[in-house]
Amino acid sequence: MNCRHCHAPLDHVFLDLGAAPPSNAYLAAADLRGPETTFPLRLHVCPGCWLVQTEDYARADALFSRDYAYFSSTSQTWLAHAAAYADSISRRLELGPRSFVIEVASNDGYLLKNFVAAGIPCLGIEPTASTAAAAQAIGVPTLREFFGQALGERLAAEGRQADLIAGNNVFAHVPDINDFTRGMRAALKPGGTITLEFPHLMRLIEQTQFDTVYHEHFSYLSLYTVQRIFAGAGLRVLDVEALPTHGGSLRVYGCHADDARGATAAVAALLDAEAAFGLRTLPAYLDFQARADAVKDALVMFLIEQKRAGRKVAAYGAAAKGNTLLNYAGIRPDLLPFVCDAAPSKQGRYLPGSRIPVVSPAQLRDARPDVVLILPWNIAAEVQARHAYVREWGGRFAVAVPAVRMLDHAGA
């Protein structure tokens, strides 16, 4: 295999999580009678451009199916984040009725509904029929296609170039990152701005966030690598912000390479910080497997100890990161009998691989577990606040990443 960006040979394995089904391939009851398709889940690091990337096995159309079960609006924390971004970027770019905003991977309209409400013309691009239909139902114009260079050029030919192209947690999810980036260049007006949010590779390594690895997540990105990918497509990084979302993300601002605006000091500062961390040297990557294994082993031991002590454990959040963790650890319903999730699209189904049933959060009151293991640790504070009643019977909350630990009332 060669690097998806610079085509250098990939000889260094960053992380090997064995084989697993796609993380959002939730099962119906009838599916339990048949086998599941699994794919190797292995990451390589490119010593040329330092792009960390999955091994080539799964096709994008197999991962992002018509009944894709992830709906962004399920999390109130994420809705608030999206609303704050829409307000700040509209003021920063002076967007108004004569502007045009495109969001790539617009999901269920969680973000663009804010632009619709503000009277700013917009278009969502979303290939999954289930989420696109939800967006259209709330008045968000949505094009049901995968985005790339061909679509970007078509939009430009139709006179629909954007003042703002937004992409939240999509840049890392595209199999052909060069084609996607060229598509953004084509669809961006002269003087327009791109903003992309994605988990920061430096934080993934620092916090041992190996559970954020899954097949739909093709790339794991640093600012340095994004800058190289942009340059190869005729784009340039203008600014960058560090965000707390998803355990530590970046929001990168981009523009055409010939844009008159200069880069902010934040860009150089973060590039220096990444270099100091070692992201452009192999040693920063080569001990990660052992650290991931230690987290996995600790979780298995914790669940066995709870079972032996007669304590009941339930999980909260049928998230992709939870599926990665549970499948790598080999955890099944004997140790974790059910997982609660607020998304109706997941309730009544089963987690891929582990086949743990997904139920409504109301099940927590009936089962009264001693421990609630929060799988999407990035929204642990939200989950604790929403389900604080668990403490009424002495129940406690826990997370497994970056280490297994019980949480206090503040979520720390």
pLDDT score, position 246: 84
Residue bearing tokens 């891929």: 352
* Same domain for 350 and 377: yes
Q: What is the pLDDT of residues 285-294, one digit of tens each?
A: 999 999 999 9
Look over the chain and give the mean of its residue pLDDT values, rounded to a whole number: 94
Q: Is residue 344 part of a domain?
A: yes
CATH number at residue 352: 3.40.50.720
* Same domain for 319 and 256: no
CATH number at residue 208: 3.40.50.150
Domain that holds residue 200: 146-285
Q: Is residue 220 part of a domain?
A: yes
* Same domain for 301 and 281: no
Last residue within a domain, chosen from 285, 306, 339:
285
Q: Please state the domain count of the chain.
A: 2
* Same domain for 261 and 331: no
pLDDT score, position 76: 84
Q: Does 343 have pLDDT greater than 50?
A: yes
**How would you class 208 by CB atoms within 10 Å of its CB: exposed for 0-12, middle for 13-18, buried for 19 or more?**
middle
Q: Does 223 have pLDDT greater than 90?
A: yes
* Same domain for 342 and 268: no
* pTM, to two decimals: 0.90
Q: Does 134 have pLDDT greater than 50?
A: yes
* Same domain for 320 and 268: no
* Same domain for 190 and 303: no
Q: Is residue 53 part of a domain?
A: no
* Same domain for 238 and 351: no
Q: Is residue 277 part of a domain?
A: yes
Last residue within a domain, chosen from 285, 308, 342:
285
Q: Is residue 280 part of a domain?
A: yes
pLDDT score, position 66: 44
Last residue within a domain, chosen from 265, 285, 305:
285
Q: What is the pLDDT of residues 149-179, one digit of tens each?
A: 999 999 999 999 999 999 999 999 999 999 9
